[in-house]
Amino acid sequence: MATLCFALTATIFLAALPIRGQIQNQADDGQWPMPAKNFASTRFSTLSEIDTSNVKNLKLAWTFSTGLTRGHEAAPLIVNNTLYIVTPWPNILYALDLTKAGAPRKWTYSPHPTASAQGVACCDVVNRGAAYYKGRVYFNTLDARTIAVDANTGKEVWKTALGDINLGESITMAPLVAKGKVLVGNSGGEFGVRGWLAALDADTGKLLWRAYATGPDRDVLIGPNFKPFYEQDRGKDLGVKTWPGEQWKIGGGAGWSWISYDPDLDLIYYGTSNPSPWNAEQRHGDNKWTCTLFARRLDTGEAVWAYQINPHDDHDYDGVNENILLDLKINGQTRKVLAHPDRNARMYLIDRATGEVLSAEPFAHQNTSESVDLKTGKIKYAADKSTGFKTVRDICPAAPGGKDWQPSAFSPRTGLLYIPHNNLCRRITSLERHL
């Protein structure tokens, strides 16, 4: 049972140096070719035609209806005067011509995803968008397929099945395409899936690698070059040893949210979701590698470092929120960091080369954790908010977190990070029944 929710926007000042070479100042051609605008996930445009002096003069130019009533969570792409939209199930891809009055439809592509996929979508039949790369539009369907479509004609180029809805898997996230690789993660942590992130060849759709979030090191793509910063994230086969029995096989840790990429370090960054089942009494241990930030090599998927944000997740906080890549001056030293506003309501600043946590202060109201020890990286949970076979009241934030999947944005002009956050608490009652 939850209290009333207010959606708010917070701003946090981050001291960014005015240097063009910083990752947050990636070149801007005035288009929007990927979900987060750029690989750094700043979602910042340098276009300045509309400002505070003339915004009041904006008027409706045209509208377009998908005819669907379910959640629309996909930001449109704008490339070469064409606007691309992906709908929730049945995941129709539209191309609209922005050079003509009313933005008429150029083409429509209908993938015809399996209707029964709607029954394995935990949180509405949503889709979070597409990515444009070298004349093609890439997107995912709810029944766990990735598709490449010719951006000019709408003709299908390839289609690859990555998951199985009969196992509870679906795909709702927007892909990221970099260096000829299409990165895709699954959804379904609530249904006992085994989470993964995969890379496909952008030309052919061939699976290049798949990194699981649970299981032995060979499946998680952890090898000799894996060097996590903190001791609790070191050790062999922690994706097995931190679970009871073989529960890691249905342990969740899906990769259903946003991905960032640093071309200089050649690392991708993403977070994994909640462990399964929700009832933490059934999965003793840290439950690695759920609720974890991963840094991986793009070409091979090899894990370089990992940091588990919420070990043994009690509150469905996941670790999937966006990672905004910034070069910031901290204590007189320029650091390559990622800013991660987690659902546990703490803003993590992490060295993106090493995984060291530099700061982890709350950005919204929370009472489920007391602190994060920067020396050990360990979060200290509030004991009175721990769940179990009891009633726990006033848990803040609730499962949607201090912020949910709705992404933040960073402006190098203002040095501000803009965060759409929640003010939401809840009560949990868990009962034990013996049959």
Q: Give mean pLDDT, residues 187-205.
A: 96
Span 11-26, pLDDT tens digits: 666 655 444 478 998 8
Domains delineated in the chain: 22-45+68-429 (2.140.10.10)
C-alpha pair distances (Å), 323 with each of 47, 55, 316: 23, 30, 19
Tell me the average pLDDT across 37-56: 95
248 phi/psi in degrees, rounded to 5: -60, -20
The pLDDT of residue 278 is 87
Residue range 223-228: average pLDDT?
A: 98
Degrees (nearest 5) of the Cα angle 303, 309, 315? 130
Asked if 237 is an active-site residue, the reply is no
Active site residue 394: no
- % of the chain exceeding 90 in pLDDT: 89
pLDDT tens digits along 305-348:
999 999 999 999 999 999 999 999 999 999 999 999 999 999 99
User: Dihedrals φ, ψ of 89, to 5°?
Assistant: -45, 130
28/39 Cα distance (integer angstroms) = 12
pLDDT of 247 higher than 90: yes
Q: What is the full DSSP assignment across 292-303?
A: EEEEEETTT--E
Predicted pLDDT at 433: 79
pLDDT digits 0-9 by tens, 277-306: 988 889 999 999 999 999 999 999 999 999
Whole-number Å distance between alpha carbons of 275 and 319: 10
**CA distances, 31 to each of 4, 82, 137, 184, 286 (Å):** 38, 10, 14, 23, 42
45 has a pLDDT exceeding 80: yes
- Number of helices (H) and strands (E) in the chain: give both, helices first: 2, 27
The number of residues in the chain equals: 435
The neighbour count for residue 276, using CB atoms within 10 Å, is 27
Catalytic residue among 190, 219, 342, 404: 190
Task: Find the mean pLDDT for residues 363-381.
Answer: 98
Q: Is 316 an annotated catalytic residue? A: yes
Give Cα 418 to chain centroid, integer Å.
17
Given the residues 274, 287, 321, 344, the one annotated as active site: 274
pLDDT of residue 413: 92
User: What was the pLDDT predicted at 11?
Assistant: 65
In contact, 195 and 272? CB cutoff 8 Å: yes
Phi, psi for residue 371 in degrees, rounded to 5: -170, 170
User: pLDDT value at position 301?
Assistant: 98
Provide the pLDDT for residue 2: 38
Q: Compute the distance between CA of residue 353 and CA of residue 262 in angstroms, rounded to an integer.
A: 10
Annotated catalytic residue, options 316, 322, 327, 342: 316
Q: How far apart are CA 338 and CA 347, in angstroms?
A: 10
Predicted pLDDT of residue 10: 65
Q: What pLDDT score was predicted for residue 14?
A: 67
d(CA 240, CA 215): 5
pLDDT at 6: 38
Q: Residues 87, 76: contact at Cβ < 8 Å?
A: no
User: For the chain, what is the mean pLDDT?
Assistant: 94
In which band, very low, low, confident or very high, does the pLDDT at 5 lie, cut at 50, 70 and 90? Answer: very low
- 1 confidence band (pLDDT: 50, 70, 90): very low
